[in-house]
Amino acid sequence: MSRDYTEMEKKWQKAWTDQKLNEAEPDSRPKFMLIFAYPGLTGYLHVGHLRGYTYADAIGRYKRMTGHNVLFPVGTHATGNGAISLYNKIHAQDPKTIDYLKRNGCTDAELAGLTSPMAVVKFFNGVYVNEYWKRFGFLADWRRFTCTLFPDYAKFIEWQFCQLKAANLLIQKPYYAPFCPNCGPVAVDPSETDLSKGGNAETQEYTLLKFWCEEQQLYLVAATLRPETVFGQVCFWARPDLEYVKIKKGKEIWVVSPQAAEKLELQMDGVTTIGKVKGDEMIGWQCRAPMLHKLIPVFPAAFVDPDVGTGLVTSVPSDAPDDWDSLEKVKQDPALRVKYGLSQKLIDSVKPVSIISIEGYGEFPAQTIIEKMKIADVEDPAKVRELMEEAKKQVYKDGYHMGRMKDTCGAFAGLRVEEAKDKMKQAMLDSGEAELFRDLTEEVVCRCGRRVHIKRIDDQWFIDYGNADLTARTKEHCKGMQIFPQEYYDNVGGVLDWFRERACVRLGNWLGTKFPFDPKWTIEAISDSTLYPLYYTISLYANEGRIKPEQMKPEFFDYVVLEKGTAAAVAAATGIDTTLLDKIKADVHYWYPLDINLGGKEHMTVHFPVFLMNHRAILPDSMQPRGIIVNWYVTGKNKDKISKSKGGAQPIPGAAAKYGVDSMRLYYAHVASMFVDVEWDEDIVFMYRQKLERIMTVVEDLIAAETDVPAGDIDAWLLSRFNTHLAEIRTAMEKYDLRQMATVVYYDMTNDIRWYGRRGGKDKKTIREALRIWINTMMPITPHVAEELWHEAGFEGLVAAAQLPVADSRVQSAAAEYGEDLVQEVIGDVNTIRKIAKTETKKAVIYTSPAWKVDVLKMALADQTAGKLSIPALTKECMANLELRKNGKATAEFAKKTAVDVMHAGAAARQPVADLNETALLQSACGFIASELGMEIAVYSADDTAKYDPQNKAHVAVPGRPAIYLE
RNA sequence: GCCGACGUAGCCGAGUUGGCCAAAGGCGGCAGACUCAAGAUCUGUUCCCUAGCGGUUCGCCGGUUCGAAUCCGGCCGUCGGCACCA
Judging by beta carbons within 10 Å of its beta carbon (0-12, 13-18, 19+), is residue A214 exposed, middle or buried? exposed
Q: How distant is C1' of B59 from CA of A257, in Å?
A: 50
No. of helices (H) and no. of strands (E), chain A:
38, 32
pLDDT tens-digit readout, A288-332 = 999 889 999 999 988 888 988 899 999 999 888 888 988 988 888
Residue A270 near residue A249, CB atoms below 8 Å: yes
> According to the model, what pLDDT value does residue A253 have?
95
> According to the model, what pLDDT value does residue A245 have?
95
Tell me which residues from 533 to 592 on chain A have a beta carbon below 7 angstroms from nucleic acid strand B.
none
Closest-CA residue to A26 (of A589, A625, A621)? A589
Closest-CA residue to A726 (of A778, A683, A687, A654)? A778
Q: How distant is C1' of B14 from CA of A684, in Å?
A: 17
Closest-CA residue to A895 (of A876, A881, A912)? A876
> According to the model, what pLDDT value does residue A556 have?
97
Q: Highest-confidence range of A59-73, A183-197, A686-700, by mean pLDDT?
A: A59-73
Q: How distant is C1' of B16 from CA of A491, in Å?
A: 18
Rounded Cα distance between A874 and A881, Å, is: 11
Overall average pLDDT of the A98-122 stretch: 93
* Strand B contact with A195 (CB < 7 A): no
DSSP structure string for A891-940: HHHHHHHHHHHHHHH-HHHHHHHHHS-HHHHHHHTHHHHHHHHTSEEEEE
> According to the model, what pLDDT value does residue A640 have?
53
Residue nearest to nucleotide B83 (CA to C1'): A502
Give the number of C-alpha atoms closer than 13 A to the C-alpha of residue A195, restricted to the C-beta side.
22
- A334 pLDDT above the threshold of 50: yes
Tell me which residues from 160 to 189 on chain A have a beta carbon below 7 angstroms from nucleic acid strand B.
175, 177-178, 185-189
Overall average pLDDT of the A481-504 stretch: 88
Nearest nucleotide, CA A602 to C1': B80
> According to the model, what pLDDT value does residue A206 have?
87
> According to the model, what pLDDT value does residue A645 have?
41
Other C-beta atoms closer than 10 Å to the C-beta of A39 total 20
How are beta strands A634-635 and A678-679 bridged, if at all?
parallel
Rounded Cα distance between A841 and A967, Å, is: 5
How are beta strands A203-213 and A505-506 bridged, if at all?
unpaired
Nearest nucleotide, CA A506 to C1': B84
Rounded Cα distance between A666 and A669, Å, is: 5
- Point out the least confidently predicted range of A259-273, A354-368, A868-882, A920-934: A868-882
> According to the model, what pLDDT value does residue A648 have?
45
**DSSP code for A631:** E
Q: How distant is C1' of B37 from CA of A15, in Å?
A: 38
pLDDT tens-digit readout, A547-556 = 999 999 999 9
> According to the model, what pLDDT value does residue A75 have?
96
Predicted confidence band of residue A809 (pLDDT cuts 50, 70, 90) = confident
Q: How distant is C1' of B57 from CA of A929, in Å?
A: 35
Overall average pLDDT of the A795-816 stretch: 91
pTM of the model: 0.86
Predicted confidence band of residue A385 (pLDDT cuts 50, 70, 90) = confident
Tell me which residues from 107 to 166 on chain A have a beta carbon below 7 angstroms from nucleic acid strand B.
none
pLDDT tens-digit readout, A673-725 = 888 888 888 888 888 998 999 899 889 888 888 888 887 888 988 999 899 89
Rounded Cα distance between A564 and A113, Å, is: 44
Nearest nucleotide, CA A529 to C1': B86
Overall average pLDDT of the A943-955 stretch: 79
- A1 pLDDT above the threshold of 50: no
Cα–Cα separations (whole angstroms), residue A376 to A328, A365, A369 = 11, 16, 11
Nearest nucleotide, CA A838 to C1': B51
Tell me which residues from 618 to 657 on chain A have a beta carbon below 7 angstroms from nucleic acid strand B.
639
Max Cα distance, chain A (Å): 122
Residue nearest to nucleotide B13 (CA to C1'): A672
Residue A357 near residue A395, CB atoms below 8 Å: no
How are beta strands A482-484 and A627-631 bridged, if at all?
parallel
Predicted confidence band of residue A644 (pLDDT cuts 50, 70, 90) = very low
The helix/strand/coil state of A798 is coil
pLDDT tens-digit readout, A444-481 = 888 777 888 888 888 899 999 999 999 999 999 999 99
Cα–Cα separations (whole angstroms), residue A247 to A342, A408, A428 = 27, 34, 21
* Strand B contact with A905 (CB < 7 A): yes
How are beta strands A195-197 and A235-238 bridged, if at all?
unpaired
Q: What percent of chain A has pLDDT over 90?
A: 43
Residue nearest to nucleotide B49 (CA to C1'): A836
Give the number of C-alpha atoms closer than 13 A to the C-alpha of residue A705, restricted to the C-beta side.
18
Residue A70 near residue A514, CB atoms below 8 Å: no
* Strand B contact with A677 (CB < 7 A): yes
Predicted confidence band of residue A584 (pLDDT cuts 50, 70, 90) = very high
Nearest nucleotide, CA A607 to C1': B86
The helix/strand/coil state of A705 is helix
Tell me which residues from 798 to 857 on chain A have a beta carbon below 7 angstroms from nucleic acid strand B.
828-829, 831-833, 835-837
| A295-328 residues labelled b (16+ CB within 10 A) or e (exposed) | ebbbbbbebbebebbbbbbbbbbbbbbbbbbbbe
Q: Give chain B positions with protein CB within 7 A.
A: 1, 3-6, 12-15, 19-20, 24-27, 39-45, 50-52, 78-86
